[in-house]
Amino acid sequence: MKFPFAQQPDAQRARSWRWLVPVLLVLLFLAVLIWLPWQARQMEATERQEQLIADTLWVEQTLRFELARSEEALAGLGSDLASRPPSAQALQARFRQMFENGPELVRIVWYGADGTVRASHGLEPPGALPAPTRLAASVAIPSRRGRYSEAYGASEATPGLLDYYLPLYAGGKPAGSLVATYSLQVLLDETVPWWFAQDNALTLLDRDDRPVARRAAGGPGRGIYTHRRELDLPGALVVLSTDSVKRAPELLPNLLVGSVIVLALGLVLSLASLWRHISRTLAAERALRQQMAFRTAMENSLITGLRARDLEGRVTYVNRAFCEIVGLPAEELVGKKPPMPYWAPEVMLEYEERFRGVLSGNITPQFETVFQRPDGTRVPVLVYEAPLVDADGRQTGWMSSIQDITDRKRAEELNRQQQEKLETSARLATMGEMSSMLAHELNQPLAAISSYTVGALNVLERTGKSGDADDVKMAGMLRHALEQARQQAQRAGQIIRSVHEFVKKREPRREPVTIHSVVEGVRALIELQARQAGVTLRVELPPALPSVLADRVMLEQVLLNLTRNGIEAMVDTGLDQRVLRITAEHGTGSEDSTLSVSVIDRGHGIAPDVAAGLFSPFYSTKLDGMGMGLSICRTAIEFHGGTLTHAPNPGGGTIFTFTLPAQAASGALG
């Protein structure tokens, strides 16, 4: 039986081992992490050095093989020269072949038994053999074998040369010699492969360790990985030295060690972050629920309807605003294919044509249409269509945003009605100002009619009492008086009809009209205002002008407003300068034809600060002006596809010009 006081040390010892083992394992793991990169670095350095030694040995064998091949060719040539010398042409051919087979050869000289040059190829033969070559000859002749000389002629600008001296014998007697000269630089360049020269700096050294040839395509060596190898050349000591351009291995020398360390660190971090995983998951789920609630609330607060459809046209999603626009719940819309219950009958064909375009992948990005609610109410809407793409970039359907433009349509209609009212008010205001002048002006033709009528009655009375020859004369006078009365009555009627047409409310009606008829229609009213202000009116219209497709009353209103402004602008002008001109000009371009009408006054002109807001609504320089005349004129001209501009008159005053598209020449009227 164990008592509690005896069990407590065992429990503490167990808890100590339970913590000690993980700590020891972690320390061991850290020690391995420290030792592993260092060991890998040492292994990589050793591997690089061994690879360099193997590559250097291979290069040394390649150089020696190239020289041995050249030695065999020279031995064969020397045997032929000693026994049966070929012709000079054949000898040169063999020389050229040896140069082609060995690019490192720069000179071959055949010396006779007396030491004279019998044939050569390549560089010019020297006047005397170099000292290293003579030393090699002194050894080669007794031994009757070819010998290499020591490298010579090397400097900073010139690579070193190497001679091979081959004595020739015929019947046991000396028959001359062959001397082949090699360029050590060419030998190094042609023999060493580019990939080895790219990673290593190669140098050929002579007996005194002086460089006689170099090749360093990848730059100078770093002195970390080096190796020296002697070329086995009879009679000469040439050393091949290689110096790698590679750096020392980094602490993390390869991907494997780095991966192990990264994985180990990741394991430690994962152990440290494991306790937070559940709390983060719960927090992410809570945030996702909040985002979904926020998105739902945001979509429900929109006034823009949203509708999603798949590639077959089936509705997959609608928001609350869309349901309010069409007057249907989401349950009756989601999952339904065309025809849709909110399609209006009058535009059913348009819906079907557009739906076929959606199925074929051709959509109209933006268009206006009409939806119908269950109670028959028409709702004008503006629809925007865009492809619906999933997370993988594949199109899964179409997304539409729908705006109810009922208020906009209502505002446009109200604006149109207000514009018509403003035009009517402007015409009425114009006629109000002219009412007093009309009363006085109409009295004159009516008084004339009365006088002519009274005179006619008197003549008829006298004619009835007398029957002499003067009755004929009196009858003629009577006819003349009655004709004058008829003309004056027509003039009064024309004035009254013009006023009636001008103030009468009606829809704009375009028809072919001529400027001559427009001017004549309001000429009496213009002359009335001009006489009251002491202004002379001059109408200067060419006899043949094309017609325009326009509303006659609107053009008459524009002409009356412009002429009235011109007359009022000349109030302070001298009487002899008060001249108002109406001119017209027909202009033709490369693509269209235009008709320009100008109203020219001699008034005070328009100041630059006034010109900026001249055509703005409710902008006026008159104390009692409404500020709508020129704005309405420009609106009327732009309604006909024309422009209204103004410019200073060179003679003083202002020129207002409105330009309209002219009809074809066949529609021109004189």
30 assigned to some structural domain: no
Mean pLDDT confidence for 374-392: 85
Question: Are residues 562 and 604 both part of a single domain?
Answer: yes
Question: Are residues 519 and 494 both part of a single domain?
Answer: no
Tally of domains in the chain? 5
Q: At what angle do helices 515-533 and 470-503 cross, to 10 degrees?
A: 100
| Nearby residues of 608 by Cβ (< 8 Å), 6 or more positions away | none
Mean pLDDT confidence for 410-421: 77
Residue (of 404, 399, 352) closest to 373 by Cα position: 404
Higher-pLDDT residue of 18, 82: 82
411 assigned to some structural domain: no
Residue 596 has a pLDDT of 92
Higher-pLDDT residue of 629, 97: 97
573 assigned to some structural domain: yes
pLDDT at position 627 over 90: no
Among 3-7, 625-629, 649-653, the minimum mean pLDDT is found in 3-7
Among 65-69, 386-390, 414-418, 494-498, the minimum mean pLDDT is found in 494-498
Q: Say how far apart CA 540 and CA 519 lie, in whole Å.
A: 11
pLDDT at position 499 over 70: no
Residue 316 has a pLDDT of 87
Q: Say how far apart CA 473 and CA 478 lie, in whole Å.
A: 9
109 assigned to some structural domain: yes
Higher-pLDDT residue of 540, 232: 540
- End-to-end Cα, the chain, rounded Å: 138
Higher-pLDDT residue of 321, 11: 321
pLDDT band at residue 314 using 50, 70 and 90 as cut-offs: confident
Answer with the one of 269, 301, 333 that is the final residue of a domain: 301
SS3 of 79-115: the string is: HHHHHCCCCHHHHHHHHHHHHHHCCCEEEEEEECCCC
For 514, the token pair is: 């001529």
pLDDT at position 583 over 90: yes
pLDDT, tens only, 194-222: 888 788 888 888 888 888 888 887 778 77
Mean pLDDT confidence for 453-476: 64
Answer with the one of 450, 481, 506 that is the final residue of a domain: 506
635 assigned to some structural domain: yes
Strands (E), 405-517: 511-513
Question: Are residues 492 and 513 both part of a single domain?
Answer: no
Residue 670 has a pLDDT of 37
Question: Are residues 152 and 222 both part of a single domain?
Answer: yes
Higher-pLDDT residue of 558, 219: 558
Question: Are residues 442 and 582 both part of a single domain?
Answer: no
CATH number, position 586:
3.30.565.10
Q: Say how far apart CA 253 and CA 415 lie, in whole Å.
A: 80
Question: Are residues 269 and 306 both part of a single domain?
Answer: no
Answer with the one of 451, 479, 506 that is the final residue of a domain: 506
Mean pLDDT confidence for 409-415: 82
For 302, the token pair is: 């929109």
pLDDT at position 13 over 80: no
pLDDT, tens only, 442-453: 656 766 676 667
12 assigned to some structural domain: no
Residue 475 has a pLDDT of 65
pLDDT, averaged across the chain? 79
pLDDT at position 251 over 60: no
Q: Say how far apart CA 522 and CA 519 lie, in whole Å.
A: 6
Among 183-192, 307-316, 618-627, the minimum mean pLDDT is found in 618-627
pLDDT at position 120 over 50: yes
Put simply, whether the predicted model's pTM sits higher than 0.85 gets the answer no
pLDDT band at residue 630 using 50, 70 and 90 as cut-offs: confident
Mean pLDDT confidence for 530-540: 90
Question: Are residues 656 and 595 both part of a single domain?
Answer: yes
Question: Are residues 502 and 521 both part of a single domain?
Answer: no
Q: Which domain covers residue 396, as residue numbers?
A: 302-404
25 assigned to some structural domain: no
pLDDT at position 508 over 60: yes
pLDDT, tens only, 153-190: 888 778 889 999 999 988 778 888 999 999 888 888 88
Residue (of 556, 552, 559) closest to 510 by Cα position: 552
User: What does each C-alpha distance from 63 to 54, 68, 77, 99, 201 come to in angstroms?
Assistant: 14, 9, 21, 16, 16
Residue 23 has a pLDDT of 62
Question: Are residues 123 and 240 both part of a single domain?
Answer: yes
pLDDT at position 70 over 50: yes
Residue 165 has a pLDDT of 92
Residue 665 has a pLDDT of 56
Residue 331 has a pLDDT of 86
Higher-pLDDT residue of 255, 269: 269
Q: Say how far apart CA 199 and CA 376 lie, in whole Å.
A: 86
For 273, the token pair is: 């972050």
Question: Are residues 660 and 526 both part of a single domain?
Answer: yes
What percentage of the chain carries pLDDT values higher than 90?
8
128 assigned to some structural domain: yes
Higher-pLDDT residue of 294, 401: 401
Residue 434 has a pLDDT of 62
Residue 375 CA neighbour count, 13 Å, CB half: 5
Are 493 and 436 in contact by the 8 Å Cβ rule? The answer is no
Q: Say how far apart CA 330 and CA 320 lie, in whole Å.
A: 8
Mean pLDDT confidence for 478-500: 62
pLDDT at position 311 over 60: yes
Mean pLDDT confidence for 498-508: 56
What percentage of the chain carries pLDDT values higher than 70?
74
Residue 544 has a pLDDT of 84
Question: Are residues 306 and 288 both part of a single domain?
Answer: no
Strands 226-233 and 236-244 come out as antiparallel
CATH number, position 66:
3.30.450.20
Higher-pLDDT residue of 424, 517: 517
Kindly report the number of other CB atoms within 10 A of residue 373's CB atom. 16
Mean pLDDT confidence for 617-646: 71
- Composition of the chain by helix, strand, coil, percent to 5: 50, 25, 25
Question: Are residues 523 and 669 both part of a single domain?
Answer: yes
